[in-house]
Amino acid sequence: MRAKISYAVTAAVLVFYFVLVGSRGVMLIQSGTLLTVTFGVAVLILPVIGVWFLWKNTQFVRRANALAAELDAEGGLPVDELRRTPGGRVDRDSADEVFARRKAETEDAPGDWRTWFRLAVAYHDARDTPRARKAMQRAIALHDGKPVQAA
């Protein structure tokens, strides 16, 4: 729940920032000189890119959460079996062991979104965020029945 609140607060701050930057861009355009109009248009591009990025990220999170809920209802969510250090950090060897199992499961059933979801969690536990995101994107695409490119 704390993560959802944090995400919502961050999104609200970003939207406020986009509105603020956008208003400055409009003010520059209204100045009417060639330089300020050019700069104003350039400034307006930033909030557009930011809104697009925020929208895409929010959609990704919503879809990943929907898959997690579906997998939870099936009783298939991965169990946290990772050993931790006294400080609470994940033991690297433990994460590697779980990752190796998840990778083997995914190789045995490459068309099953569930194995890709669990692999994404293993990547996340191993602190490999880019690969975790790609694995989750693949899980979402497989779940939705969309064509998936070879890895």
HSE, side-chain direction, 13 A CA sphere, residue 145: 0
**Gyration radius of the chain's alpha carbons:** 21
Tens-digit pLDDT string for the chain (151 aa) = 788 899 899 999 999 999 999 999 999 999 989 999 999 999 999 899 999 999 999 999 999 999 999 999 999 888 888 888 888 888 888 888 888 899 999 999 999 999 999 999 999 888 889 999 999 999 999 999 887 766 5
* CATH code that applies to domain 92-144: 1.25.40.10
Residue 77: predicted pLDDT: 86
Nearest-angstrom CA–CA distance, 93 and 126: 10
pTM: 0.78
Residue 107: predicted pLDDT: 94
Nearest-angstrom CA–CA distance, 131 and 129: 6
Residue 108: predicted pLDDT: 95
